[in-house]
Amino acid sequence: MESENRVIKDRKGKAGRVIFSAVIYFFLTVWALFVLFPFYWMILSSVKSYSAYNGEYIPTFFTLSPTLENYREAFTAVPLAGYFLNTLIFTLATTALMLLVTVFAAYAFARLSFPGKDLLFSFFLSLMMIPTELVIITNFQTITYWGMRNTFWGLILPSVTSVFYIYLLKENFEQVPDELYKAAKVDGTSDLKYLFKVMIPVCRPTIVTVTILKIIECWNSYVWPRLITDDKAYFLVSNGIQEIRENGFGRENVPAMMAAVVVISVPLIILFLVFRKKIMEGVSRGGTKG
Amino acid sequence: MKNSLKAWLYLLPALLFLGVFLIYPLVDVLIYSFEEGYNSTSGTYFGVGFYNYSYVLHDPFFLKALRNTVLLVLITVPLSTGLALLISLGLSSIKALRKFFQTVYFLPYVTNTLAVGLVFMILFKKTPYSDGLMNLLLRLFGMGPVDFIDGPYWAKMFVLCFYTVWVVMPFKILILTSALASVKDDYYKAARIDATPRFRVFTRITLPMISPMLFYLIITGFIGAFKAYSDAVALFGVNLNAAEMNTIVGYVYDMLYGDSGGYPSYAAAAALILFVIVLTVTTINLTVSRKHVFYD
């Protein structure tokens, strides 16, 4: 009798579990659709023709006659290719400079000794708390004073520093065993050579993570470029898209706008899909957004 | 001595960049905020005092921006944190498709806020050609078309909150899922042997174990939401004052540059007020968390 009860209870528990996980899958799917829908909508709208889009009082959820016309329009009616190239130059230059500065500073903190090192490092850490909004005012004045508005240098220079990445790399550099360093010293290897031949290759995973996070940050930056450029020739994609929104394609051309949005979004989505694990690890270790 | 020199040489680029673009500006912004009647073009001012702060605090545009920002913070931080917790709990209780869901959920993090904001604008906007998708959805529930982009204040605030939540969710889900994954299985096993009800397991084991990360998210969430700006620009355009949707950070930039710009002193005062607000809120958060967070 008792064992029979237990069987019934188990069966009930099993059914309960199935229902429970069905409910969970249902809600997870709903959220996934919620996240993906804007992406679907922008791709869909970007392949609808101008007349088809504006002729739909009730927007359709698919199209039977996709067109690439809007993509041509996006590249010809507005200087989208130029915005793209600017962003590429800005992103690559800023990231490269950041890496150089960061690697050297992290190496000094991790491997070299000098008086006041710990004090200076804590000072560096405290700098992480300074919000950009506070320093951007003076940086704007500085760059204007240097006559660097509407130049790449003006865009790049204030975007280089990242205290957090120095911290991240320093922690990683310190994990490389001291013995390697001592052995290299005995062999008469210079610090510079040791840094490039041993440290950087060993710590490559962290360096790659830092690089990707910085690339994402640069690609999406909007506020600083907006302040420092008003010449379209130096617009980055974020400013470009805003310009397209305000002054557009001469008319309310939503499909062409969406084509531009797709073009701007695709590079980062590809980067994300390729480096998915690295990006998510990197962000959970110290990204901040939101 | 030679070594010490070398170290400083390695540090030199970082020190230069930080000095010029982070430390000097920090001092400078304080000075700006106390210089009264500062003129950008001539670089002169005619007094030192609290006038800039008083001006900003009495400026209706600032008060409006402050109201918008506080509302945005109060709505989006609890909502997004709670939702992220639910989704992460769901994620950690499944095995199949988990990686897939995690990847999809993270997607908004790597997208351009300005670009995707445009898609949200299209979805919510009411035009002469069409009421927009959102209004069609509303009609199913018998609610009338509302222009969410150029319409009433509550509708605009709704879209802004909606988009903000969409944007901040990936980070929160990521952090909470990894926090949940790091809870030791032994605790759950013990609870299973005792046949502890699911809800009790959640309140007595899961919640205390992830509370440090949860508070970390609440704190960074408050800081992030107080600095809202790009999301609003993406939805309502550059002229946020006209749209009644300005934020504190937006006010700072408006004072600095653009049609209403050229007042770095007001911008500095507003930025410092924001900094003090954020610092106060963070301190309160930390005090509360010290009482309630379970540290291992």
Domain count, chain B: 1
Query: CB–CB of A237 and B106 under 8 A?
Result: no
Question: Given a cut of 60, is residue A7 above it in pLDDT?
Answer: no
Which residues is A159 bridged to in the sheet? none
Contacts of A120 in chain B (CB under 8 A): 11
Contacts of A260 in chain B (CB under 8 A): 115
Which of B11, B217, B257, B266 to mutate against chain A (most A CBs within 10 Å)?
A: B11
**B1 within a domain of the structure (yes/no):** no
Query: CB–CB of B220 and A32 under 8 A?
Result: no
**B5 within a domain of the structure (yes/no):** no
pLDDT over 90, % of chain A: 50
Distance CA B226, CA A37 (A): 27
**B164 within a domain of the structure (yes/no):** yes
Contacts of A163 in chain B (CB under 8 A): 18, 22
SS3 content of chain B, % helix, strand, coil (to 5): 75, 0, 25
Contacts of B129 in chain A (CB under 8 A): 54-57
Contacts of A269 in chain B (CB under 8 A): 107, 110-111
CB of B113 within 8 Å of any CB in chain A? yes
Query: CB–CB of B174 and A280 under 8 A?
Result: yes
**B24 within a domain of the structure (yes/no):** no
Distance from CA of A41 to the nearest CA of B (A): 7
Domain CATH code at residue B154 = 1.10.3720.10
Q: What is the predicted pLDDT for the residue at B63? A: 96
- DSSP strand pairing (B35-36 vs B47-48): antiparallel
Query: CB–CB of B7 and A58 under 8 A?
Result: no
Range of the domain at B123: 43-292
Beta strands in A184-263 (DSSP E): none
Contacts of B23 in chain A (CB under 8 A): 127
pLDDT digits (tens, 9 = 90+) for B65-78: 999 999 999 999 99
Distance CA B102, CA B104 (A): 6
pLDDT digits (tens, 9 = 90+) for A134-162: 899 999 989 999 999 999 999 999 999 88
Q: What is the predicted pLDDT for the residue at B62? A: 96
Query: CB–CB of A28 and B101 under 8 A?
Result: yes
| Residue of chain B nearest A246, judged by CA positions | B237
CB of B131 within 8 Å of any CB in chain A? yes
Which of A120, A125, A138, A190 to mutate against chain B (most B CBs within 10 Å)?
A: A138
Q: What is the predicted pLDDT for the residue at B145? A: 84
Query: CB–CB of B252 and A42 under 8 A?
Result: no
Q: Where are the domains of chain A?
A: 2-69, 78-247
CB of B267 within 8 Å of any CB in chain A? yes
Residue of A252 and A131 predicted with greater confidence = A131
Question: Given a cut of 50, is residue A1 above it in pLDDT?
Answer: no
Residue of A98 and A56 predicted with greater confidence = A98
CB of B202 within 8 Å of any CB in chain A? no
Q: What are phi and psi of B74, to 5 degrees?
A: -65, -30
Of B6, B13, B108, the CB nearest to A101: B13
Distance CA A282, CA A44 (A): 32
What average pLDDT score do residues A247-256 get? 76
| Residue of chain A nearest B257, judged by CA positions | A227
**B34 within a domain of the structure (yes/no):** no
pLDDT digits (tens, 9 = 90+) for A203-247: 998 999 899 999 999 999 999 999 999 898 999 999 998 888 888
Q: Which of B5-14, B73-82, B128-137 has the lowest mean pLDDT?
A: B128-137
| Residue of chain A nearest B122, judged by CA positions | A254
What is the interface size between A and B, counted as CB pairs within 8 Å? Answer: 260
Residue of B44 and B286 predicted with greater confidence = B286
SS3 per-residue string spanning B165-222: HHHHHHHHHHHHHHHHHCCCHHHHHHHHHCCCCHHHHHHHHHHHHHHHHHHHHHHHHH
| N- to C-terminal Cα separation, chain B | 44
Helix (H) or strand (E) holding B131: none
Widest Cα–Cα separation across chain A: 90
**B32 within a domain of the structure (yes/no):** no
Query: CB–CB of A42 and B116 under 8 A?
Result: yes
Q: What is the predicted pLDDT for the residue at A246? A: 82
Query: CB–CB of A137 and B252 under 8 A?
Result: yes
Query: CB–CB of B230 and A222 under 8 A?
Result: yes
Query: CB–CB of B107 and A39 under 8 A?
Result: yes
Q: What is the predicted pLDDT for the residue at B41? A: 66
**B30 within a domain of the structure (yes/no):** no
Contacts of A102 in chain B (CB under 8 A): 14
Cβ neighbours of residue B94 closer than 8 Å, sequence gap 6 or more: A21, A24, A25, A28, B101
CATH of segment(s) A78-247:
1.10.3720.10
